[in-house]
Amino acid sequence: MKLNTTLLRIRAIGITALLSILPTSAWAMAGMEEKIADVMVWILIVVLPIAALYIFWKIHVLPEVFAEKHHHPQKHAIQILCLLSIAVGGLLWPLAWLWAFTKPVTYKAAYGTDKHDDYFLKPDGEHANKPMDLAIVDDELILLKEKLEGLNKKRELIISKQAATSASSTQTQEKQNA
């Protein structure tokens, strides 16, 4: 208890000493307020509108960026819709966003793929130096192989589960017979 009161007294003395060395009146440099006001005016008139336009533009091209990243088959149409959205103040932006996140249902049936042609024309991609039709067929084969591997794993799990249940049912029958 005595230690706590001693610590409190030391802290109070330290705070009092600190407050005693601070100046008692506020001061400012002559003309400093005008310089601050000039800088704030330039920021508000020039920098802030440019920053707001840049942020508005970056937000409105997000659907285009997403469509490009995921090889949406209609990415050029989404790009045009994003530009139109910027021109009309963002009214079309939700439509571009929804369009970028959905794949056309009949596009694959009509064109044989659900990816944009640029996906197959990448020079460093897995379909490099192949004709477009062959690249599409190769992509379908890769997807089918992945699906077949998944089905094989599922089959093995079902078989192992059935073997475990048949073994446990055999053990219970042996216990009942004994």
Q: How many Cα atoms occupy the beta-carbon half-sphere of 97 within 13 Å?
A: 9
How do residues 93-119 score in pLDDT, each as one tens digit? 889 888 888 877 766 655 666 666 666
Q: Are 133 and 100 in contact (CB under 8 A)?
A: no
Residue for token pair 């009146």: 25
Confidence of residue 126 (pLDDT cuts 50, 70, 90): low
> pTM (2 decimals)?
0.46
pLDDT for 48 equals: 93
Distance (Å) of CA 161 to CA 61, 147, 148, 150, 167: 50, 21, 20, 17, 10
Q: Is 34 left (phi over 0), alpha (psi -120 to 50) or beta?
A: alpha
In contact, 99 and 78? CB cutoff 8 Å: yes
Domain ranges of the chain: 42-109, 121-169
**Span 144-174, pLDDT tens digits:** 888 889 999 999 988 988 888 887 777 777 7
